[in-house]
């Protein structure tokens, strides 16, 4: 069941037009890269999909449900199936790794019990399995801020795994990491995409990463969609359309 974005526009209260009439369609199992200069609207687009940012107009339809029209309860049900990872990892630094991972499950659990800090043993087991998948089982009881950047992002992935997501939004997940770590993180995401069948929408800065991992690219410039196609279709002319006339190609 596809994700359909129709005429999406976002104007921030200060008047910034971050997205202008953006429309596209993502099929199940795709790995979509969102590219564009800083300020092009990539983060805004990703956050509109799970309504962390409230769209100004337009519709977002997923599994035949209009996310933009969902009530607060419906929205929480939709969100729990959409994993999200962030450039700054967004872990709760003073909590343990395990608690961070478990918090990915909150949307599925009895709210009152979780407020008391209670998680059923089965969920703890699931969290340990998620940590094993990202190779961090032995760090479960460390404080999140004691981990390196690459490890923190793997915790972020484990937290998203807890949601058993069918869609994963990733906002520059590797921009704060060195190139070697970037590949290791993206391979975890690729594995989810290829083996778990999770649809991935991921904003990326480097074109070589786009070519290596993405099956589809959406190019944004000043809030307008200026490109939609396969990675290999990005030639010099299209590159300049996305990144501006003065830009030089470095990777890919």
Partner 1 sequence: MKGPWRIPIILGIIIVYALCWRAVGIAPSKFFEPQAAQRAREIFTAFVTPEILIPEVSRQAVEVPFRVPCPPGAKSTPEVSGLSPQIVMPVCASEGEIIKVEGRGFHPKSDVILRWRFAPSSQLPLGGELVAARVKANEDGSFEAQIEVRPLLAQEGGASLQAEAQWRTGRRVVSPALVKTAELMVQTIFLALMATTFATVIAIPISFLAARNIMAKGPVGTAIYYAVRWVLDLVRSIEPIVVAAIFATWVGFGPFAGVLALTVATIVSLGKLFSEVIETIDPGPVEAITATGANLLQVIRYAVVPQIVLPFLAFIIYHWDINIRISTVVGFVGGGGIGYQLKLWIDQTDYHKAGTAVWAIVAVVSVMDYVSARLREAIK
Ligand X SMILES: Nc1ncnc2c1ncn2[C@@H]1O[C@H](COP(=O)(O)OP(=O)(O)OP(=O)(O)O)[C@@H](O)[C@H]1O
Residues lying near partner 1 in the complex (CB under 8 A) are found at: 50, 52, 76-82, 84, 86, 88-95, 99, 103-108, 111, 114-115, 117, 156, 159, 162-163, 169
23 counts as binding ligand X under rule CB under 6 A:
no
Residue 151 contact, options Mg ion, partner 1, ligand X, none, Cβ 5-8 Å cut-off depending on partner type: none
DSSP characters for 58-117?
A: EEEEETTEEGGG--HHHHHHHHTTEEEEETT----TTSBHHHHHHGGGGGGS-HHHHHTT
**Which of the stretches 39-47, 107-115, 174-182, 204-212 binds Mg ion when contact is defined by CB under 5 A?**
39-47
Q: Which of 18, 85, 101, 158 binds ligand X (CB under 6 A)?
A: 18
Nearer to ligand X, 87 or 199 (CB): 87
Q: Which of 26, 32, 36, 198 binds ligand X (CB under 6 A)?
A: 36
The angle formed by the CA atoms of residues 12, 83 and 139, to the nearest 5 degrees, is: 120
Q: Are 249 and 236 in contact (CB under 8 A)?
A: yes
CA distance 232 to 90: 33
11 counts as binding ligand X under rule CB under 6 A:
no
CA distance 83 to 104: 8
88 counts as binding ligand X under rule CB under 6 A:
no
Strand partners, 219: 35, 227
Kindly list the residues in this chain that would bind Mg ion in the complex (CB under 5 A).
43
């Amino acid at each position: 069941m596809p994700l359909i974005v129709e005429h999406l526009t976002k104007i921030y209260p200060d008047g910034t037009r971050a997205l202008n009439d953006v429309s596209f369609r993502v099929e199940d199992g795709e790995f979509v890269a969102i590219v564009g200069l800083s300020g092009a609207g990539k983060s805004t687009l990703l956050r509109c999909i799970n309504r962390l940012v409230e769209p100004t107009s337009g519709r977002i339809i997923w599994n035949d449900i209009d996310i933009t029209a969902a009530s607060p309860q419906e929205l929480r049900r939709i969100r729990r199936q959409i994993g999200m990872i962030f450039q700054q990892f967004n872990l709760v630094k003073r909590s343990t790794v395990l608690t961070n991972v478990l918090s990915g499950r909150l949307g599925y659990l009895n709210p009152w019990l979780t407020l008391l800090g209670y998680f059923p043993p089965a969920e703890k087991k699931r969290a340990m399995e998620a940590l094993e998948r990202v190779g961090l089982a032995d760090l479960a009881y460390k404080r999140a801020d004691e981990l390196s950047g690459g490890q923190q992002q793997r915790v972020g992935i484990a937290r998203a795994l807890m949601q058993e997501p069918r869609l994963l939004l990733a906002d520059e997940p590797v921009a704060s990491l060195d190139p070697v770590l970037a590949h290791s993180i993206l391979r975890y995401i690729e594995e989810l995409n290829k083996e778990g069948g999770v649809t991935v929408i991921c904003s990326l800065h480097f074109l070589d990463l786009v070519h290596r991992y993405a099956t589809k690219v959406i190019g944004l410039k000043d809030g307008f969609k200026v490109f939609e196609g396969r990675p290999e279709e990005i030639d010099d002319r299209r590159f300049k359309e996305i990144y501006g006339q003065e830009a030089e190609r470095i990777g890919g």
